[in-house]
């Protein structure tokens, strides 16, 4: 068997967080503590767990976690009022509205109410537009994590054919734009795509973001392709059939321990950047 490169997301995330420590210390000397406000609407247990994990990750490196928990009966107007209050709170640098919100709430309107300078989770329409023009400060965190892994391992992007399986507005679409901005040739596939295995077989880079467990099969792959599994399904299973894809891939992210840890580190990084920009410091890359 040839040597495959296992793309270790935990290692990447650890280095990202280590680099943030000195930046947080610099802000502290100016009397500034980066603060991420998370809003949870309702009592979804998985969402509550995610919010708690993000809060713990913040606290571990010196970012303040401000958690706002609203009832299931919260109206769109009430949620918008909470977001506006956080927009105007000078001690809050980033705002994250945990997805999904209860179905009676206008989620897109809520997302787009977040101040663009505090949109550290990359969910606003304006932020998406900025990413498309290669001007986005805070892209969605999972696409940012995918790019971070590619850059960390010096995997070539320019001129490569990338196939993205999935077209969500906070994952499939923005990662396609970010790869395109780095001169990849990008094909976006989805549930209606015909002859998907044949398209994937031409890919140098495959991003699996379809939300179906073990969907991508090893027999679909070109020998030596780079596989980035952005899926997370029940039972800690990704969107890629890991064992069969491992046989063909030149590099692959595992689940868990791949893109997931880096996604949280990108949220922390964006929050620190937002605090630096607020303090008129030049954010590090």
Which residues are annotated as catalytic? 54, 98, 121
How would you label 129-168 residue by residue, b for 16+ Cβ within 10 Å and e otherwise? Answer: ebbbeeebbbbbbbbbbbbbbbebeebebeebbbbbbbbb
Task: Report whether 225 contacts 201 (CB < 8 A).
Answer: no
Residue at token pair 């299931």: 72
> What is d(CA 283, CA 22) in angstroms, rounded to the nearest whole number?
12
Q: How far is CA 140 from CA 146, 220, 274, in A?
A: 10, 28, 14
Residue at token pair 């008129």: 280
Tokens matching residue 271 = 């929050």
> What is d(CA 232, CA 173) in angstroms, rounded to the nearest whole number?
18
Tokens matching residue 43 = 């009592």
Instruction: Single out the residue of 40, 229, 62, 36 nearest to residue 145, CA to CA.
Output: 229
């Amino acid at each position: 068997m040839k040597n495959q490169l296992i793309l270790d997301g935990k290692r990447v995330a650890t280095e990202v967080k280590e680099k943030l420590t000195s930046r947080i210390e610099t802000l502290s000397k100016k009397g500034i503590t980066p603060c991420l406000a998370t809003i949870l609407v309702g009592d979804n247990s998985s969402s509550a767990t995610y919010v708690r994990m993000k809060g713990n990750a913040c606290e571990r490196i010196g970012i303040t976690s401000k958690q706002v928990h609203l009832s299931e009966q919260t109206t769109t107007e009430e949620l918008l009022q909470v977001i506006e209050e956080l927009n105007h709170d000078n001690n809050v640098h980033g705002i994250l509205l945990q997805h999904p919100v209860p179905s009676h709430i206008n989620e897109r309107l809520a997302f787009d109410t977040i101040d663009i300078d505090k949109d550290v989770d990359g969910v606003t329409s304006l932020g998406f537009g900025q990413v498309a023009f290669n001007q986005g400060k805070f892209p969605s965190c999972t696409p940012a994590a995918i790019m971070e892994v590619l850059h960390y391992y010096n995997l070539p992007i320019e001129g490569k054919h990338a196939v993205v399986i999935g077209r969500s507005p906070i994952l499939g679409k923005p990662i396609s734009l970010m790869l395109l901005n780095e001169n990849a040739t990008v094909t976006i596939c989805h549930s209606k795509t015909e002859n998907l295995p044949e398209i994937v077989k031409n890919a140098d880079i495959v991003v699996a973001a379809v939300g179906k467990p073990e969907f991508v099969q090893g027999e679909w792959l070109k020998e030596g392709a780079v596989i980035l599994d952005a899926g997370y399904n029940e039972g800690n299973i990704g969107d890629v059939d890991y064992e069969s894809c491992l046989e063909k891939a030149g590099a692959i992210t595992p689940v868990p321990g791949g893109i997931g840890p880096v996604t949280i580190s990108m949220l922390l990084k964006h929050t620190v950047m937002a605090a630096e920009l607020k303090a008129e410091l030049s954010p590090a890359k």
